[in-house]
């Protein structure tokens, strides 16, 4: 069987960096000495920096690095990264992230209203489905009423997927409003909606 060719690039994100011309020359010299590409050197240096440089101090007065924050707060979906930052390191949130968090919590209250019984069973998976709309609303690109409409549509799609899934246990938990109490539910639900 042929081995699949691939590089670390499949696991990384691309972003543009501007260098002062003299700094770029120095970086190219260092990259050559280390037998790395400029891109590889930049990633290596950045990784060292985020693991060594503190971004805040904890309640005990100990420094907390950006890597430690990212390690604790990392999620694939932007809204859940923000949610975790708000829970553990709210002082690191920027303006848009504060709005994302606030809108996510408002959707939780909206879910209580939609459920009819005050439960938030469907809030997490449905919020994940509308992640881009939450961010767009936080950035002022769409109105809150449009976000609510997208949430309601995603909620209906989610419920339809549960009922079409053929998973009786998932269907029963959803109907009883206890989906969020089932330990394996998150994995089942995110497999159902196609999210990591």
pLDDT(28) > 90:
yes
Determine the pLDDT at residue 1: 40
Determine the pLDDT at residue 3: 41
pLDDT(175) > 90:
no
Q: Name the phi and psi angles at 63, rounded to 5.
A: -70, 145
Domain boundaries along the sequence of the chain: 47-76, 78-193
Instruction: Look at residues 158, 153, 147 and name the one whose alpha carbon lies nearest to residue 107.
Output: 147
C-alpha dihedral (97, 98, 104, 107), degrees to nearest 10: -140
The answer to whether residues 97 and 87 touch, using CB atoms and an 8 Å cutoff, is: no
Instruction: Provide the pLDDT confidence category of residue 181 given band limits of 50, 70 and 90.
Output: low
What is the pTM for the complete model shown?
A: 0.76
Average pLDDT, the chain: 86
pLDDT(152) > 70:
yes
Mean pLDDT of 67-92: 94
Q: How far is CA 154 from CA 19, 91, 98, 124, 158, in A?
A: 43, 31, 23, 12, 6
């Amino acid at each position: 069987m042929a081995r699949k060719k691939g590089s670390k690039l499949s696991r990384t994100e691309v972003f543009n960096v501007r260098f002062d011309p003299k700094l770029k020359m120095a970086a190219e010299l260092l990259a050559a000495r280390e037998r790395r590409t400029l891109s590889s050197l930049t990633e290596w240096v950045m990784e060292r920096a985020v693991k060594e440089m503190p971004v805040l101090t904890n309640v005990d007065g100990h420094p907390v690095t950006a890597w430690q924050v990212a390690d604790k707060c990392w999620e694939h979906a932007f809204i859940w990264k923000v949610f975790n930052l708000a829970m553990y390191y709210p002082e690191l949130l920027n303006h848009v992230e504060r709005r994302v968090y606030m809108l996510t919590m408002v959707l939780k209250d909206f879910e209580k209203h939609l459920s009819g019984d005050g439960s938030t069973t469907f809030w997490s998976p449905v919020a994940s489905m509308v992640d881009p709309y939450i961010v767009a609303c936080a950035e002022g690109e769409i109105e809150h009423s449009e976000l609510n409409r997208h949430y309601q549509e995603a909620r209906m799609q989610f419920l339809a997927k549960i009922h079409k899934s053929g998973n009786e246990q998932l269907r029963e938990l959803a109907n009883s409003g206890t989906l969020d109490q089932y330990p394996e539910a998150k994995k089942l639900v995110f497999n159902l909606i196609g999210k990591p």
